[in-house]
Amino acid sequence: MPSFVAALREGYARDTLRPETPQSIAEVAGDPAAFVAGQLAPPTSVTLPDGSQGPAVPYTVLWYVEGEEFLGSLHIRHHLNANLEKVGGHVGYAVRPSARGRGHASAILAAGLDYIRANLDLERVLLTVNAQNPASIRVIEKNGGVHTASIPHIWIPGDTALHYWIAL
Ligand SMILES: CC(C)(COP(=O)(O)OP(=O)(O)OC[C@H]1O[C@@H](n2cnc3c(N)ncnc32)[C@H](O)[C@@H]1OP(=O)(O)O)[C@@H](O)C(=O)NCCC(=O)NCCS
- Does 140 sit in the ligand 1 pocket, CB within 6 Å? no
At residue 120 the predicted structure's pLDDT band, cuts being 50, 70 and 90, is: very high
- Which residue minimizes the CA distance to atom 40 of ligand 1? 94
Per-domain boundaries in the chain: 2-167
By the 10 Å C-beta count (0-12 exposed, 13-18 middle, 19+ buried), 77 is classed as buried
Q: Residue 86: its pLDDT value, please?
A: 97
Q: Say how many Å lie between the CA of residue 136 and the centre of ligand 1.
A: 5
Hey, what CATH topology would domain 2-167 get? Aminopeptidase (3.40.630)
**At residue 85, does pLDDT exceed 80?**
yes
Whole-model pTM? 0.94
Lowest-pLDDT choice from 53-57, 59-63, 97-101: 53-57
Which residue has its alpha carbon closest to ligand 1 atom 5? 105
CA distance 166 to 104: 19
| Per-residue three-class SS string for 21-60 | CHHHHHHHHHCHHHHHHHHHCCCCEEECCCCCEEECCCEE
Residue nearest to atom 31 of ligand 1 (CA): 138
Question: Which pLDDT does position 43 carry in this prediction?
Answer: 78
pLDDT higher than threshold 80 for residue 42: no
**Contacting residues for 63 by C-beta, under 8 A, at least 6 apart:** 4, 70, 72, 73
What's the rounded Cα separation, in Å, for the pair 108 and 131? Answer: 21
Give the ligand 1 atom nearest the CA of 142: 34
DSSP three-state, residue 139: helix
